[in-house]
Amino acid sequence: MLYPNLSTNAAGHLCIAGIDACDLAATYGTPLYVLDEDRIREKCRIYVQAMQRYLPKGSYPLYAGKALCFRGIYPVVQSEGLGADVVSAGEIATALSAGFPASKLFFHGSNKTDAEIAYGVSQGVGHFVVDNTDELQALSREAQSRGITQRVLLRVTVGLDPHTLAAISTGKVDSQFGVPIETGQAERFVAEALQTPGVQVDGFHSHIGSQIFEASSFCDQIDRLLAFACDVRDKLGYVANTLNLGGGFAVPYVVSDETVDIDANIKAIAEHLAHGCEQADYPLPCILMEPGRSIVADAGVTLYSAGRIKTVEGYRSYVMVDGGMTDNPRYALYKSAYTVINASHACAPADFECTIAGRCCESGDRIAEDIRIARPERGDILAVLTTGAYNFAMSSNYNRVPRPALVMLHNGEARLAVRRQTIEDLLSLEI
Ligand SMILES: *Cc1c(COP(=O)(O)O)cnc(C)c1O
């Protein structure tokens, strides 16, 4: 099995954190998002402990809520000692409504509206990650009008192209995010921010992309950030006390993917940072990281019911499920690979080659192509693994399909955290 929290029982069913997946499907219906809270906690601890052990005092992880944002996630990450990064008024409100402290929120976004800036400041968001000079000035006006000083990090782009999908790579010079170092604009951005009333610059932020397997990408990022910080120190006399390295650690989606050793990577990053700072005689900054995917992805499993099974003779077989791109658009967007298990026959040989298609009127509505699972029958429960990140968060009502429910597993018990959307919910918005 891809993950240690998966097993099978005497009935031959797949179990997630010891709970029978077919029982979950029968109780809560399908499609169903299942989230193993204990696995999320384990991942949080790996980050918190490694960052405490290897990095300067005050370093800690922020959970990137955009990967999976609903109320129930915030008490979990908060109790594990994480801060959170938020990208909209909606994410701020979700975190606050769950009792998450505003002071531990970092507000991202390349195009925050004036209303969102006002909302963030009024709610006491601890840090804004300021993306550009327009935002800097809008934030300054808002902070001054309230008579406060807003703490900020400045987002810069280091000009790196990590080996990941173009759609999730963000550190290149030519990007809509942040201010580029290479063109000299980042230095002017810092100079301007240091002169701007109502804001206090605590340091810099950069995020190079997502689903990154190599520690070397993060080391390259540190080199460039540090070189920039030294330039800024030499020219402007400003020393950053915080560097935020963003998110991006990869998780395995299929058995051929590598598993990233997060602890070892953080250790390598810490050694690289310490060495770089020593060489440049730069005081060690606190490090923040913003893991999203690597905290929640492999804690999630989506359960579907198999419906029509169609064989096009001489071509392929399709197994159609009662969800698809509406609850998981990642195959349609990026051709992302997934592991699928017939949860009703989890001990049977996976010898039936098929393509898993969704229920939408759209040829691109697929979950996985040309994979092997135990031959299913109509009504079998299919489990798609590693769906904790960017599935619920990216779901839609395309084809007027209601969003699935989300169930959390903790200490051997399941509890409903988000109820299934109904057609009445959809109609209720319409006048
Ligand atoms: C998307 C994003 C993250 C989280 O990335 P993961 O790959 O999910 O870890 C963190 N920080 C920023 C700024 C992001 O845009």
Q: What is the DSSP track for 33-101?
A: EEEEHHHHHHHHHHHHHHHHHHS-TT-EEEEEGGGS--TTHHHHHHHTT-EEEE-SHHHHHHHHHTT--
Closest atom of ligand 1 relative to the 211 alpha carbon: 7
Confidence of residue 176 (pLDDT cuts 50, 70, 90): confident
Question: According to CATH, where is 2.40.37.10 located in the chain?
Answer: 6-36+297-427
Closest atom of ligand 1 relative to the 66 alpha carbon: 1
CA distance to 131, 296, 343, 395, 407, per residue, from 392 (Å): 26, 11, 21, 5, 12
Distance in Å, CA 294 to ligand 1 centroid:
10
> What is the arithmetic mean of pLDDT over 404-426?
98
Instruction: Report the CATH fold assignment for 108-291.
Output: TIM Barrel (3.20.20)
Instruction: Tell me the pTM.
Output: 0.96
Cβ 294 under 6 angstroms from ligand 1: yes
Catalytic positions, written as ranges? 361
Confidence of residue 105 (pLDDT cuts 50, 70, 90): very high
Distance in Å, CA 388 to ligand 1 centroid:
14
pLDDT at position 173 is 76
Q: Whose CA is nearest to atom 10 of ligand 1?
A: 247
Q: Whose CA is nearest to atom 2 of ligand 1?
A: 247
Question: According to CATH, where is 3.20.20.10 located in the chain?
Answer: 108-291
pLDDT of 5 strictly over 80: yes
* Mean per-residue pLDDT over the chain, rounded: 96
> What is the arithmetic mean of pLDDT over 272-299?
97
Cβ 64 under 6 angstroms from ligand 1: yes
Closest atom of ligand 1 relative to the 248 alpha carbon: 7
pLDDT of 375 strictly over 70: yes
> What is the arithmetic mean of pLDDT over 37-62?
98
In whole angstroms, give the CA distance from residue 18 to residue 1.
14
Specify the 3-state DSSP secondary structure of 265: helix
pLDDT of 167 strictly over 60: no
CATH of domain 6-36+297-427: 2.40.37.10
